[in-house]
Amino acid sequence: MQEPLQEPAHSNAQMDLDVVNMFVIAGGTLAIPILAFVASFLLWPSALIKIYYWYWRRALGMQVRYVYHEDYQFCYSFRGRPGNKPSLLMLHGFSAHKDMWLSVVKFLPKNLHLVCVDMPGHEGTTRSSLDDLSIDGQAKRIHQFVEVLKLNKKPFHLVGTSMGGHVAGVYAAYYPSDICSLSLVCPAGLQYSTDNQFVQRLKELQEPEAVQKIPLIPSTPEEMGEMLQLCSYVRFKVPQQILQGLVDVRIPHNNFYRKLFLEIINEKSRYCLHQNMDKIKVPTLIIWGKQDQVLDVSGADILAKSIDHCQVELLENCGHSVVMERPRKTAKLITDFLASVHSTGNKKLD
Contact 76, 115 (CB under 8 A): yes
Strand partners, 66: 75
Based on C-alpha coordinates, what's the Rg of the chain? 19
**C-alpha closest to that of 296 among 264, 266, 262, 320:** 320
231 contacts 13 by C-beta, under 8 angstroms: yes
Marked catalytic residue, from 40, 95, 134, 162:
162
Q: Which amino acid is at 266?
A: N
Question: Quick one: how far is CA 206 from the chain centroid?
Answer: 27
Tell me whether residue 162 is one of the annotated catalytic residues: yes
**Is 336 annotated in the active site?**
no
Active-site residue, from 183, 320, 321, 342? 320
Angle at 309 between CA 345 and CA 171, to 5 degrees: 105
At 163, the amino acid letter reads: M
Phi and psi torsions of 152, nearest 5°: -90, 15
CA pair distance 35, 51, nearest whole angstrom:
15
DSSP β-ladder status, 310-315 and 156-161 = unpaired
The amino acid that residue 71 corresponds to is D
What is the 8-class DSSP label of residue 347? Answer: B
The answer to whether the beta carbons of residues 243 and 225 sit under 8 Å apart is: yes
**What amino acid is encoded at 106 in this protein?**
K
Q: Is 320 a catalytic residue?
A: yes
Catalytic residue among 16, 131, 178, 292: 292
Length of the chain: 350
Contact 349, 109 (CB under 8 A): yes
**Strand segments (E) across the chain:** 63-69, 72-79, 88-91, 114-117, 156-161, 179-185, 284-289, 310-315
Residues labelled catalytic: 162, 292, 320
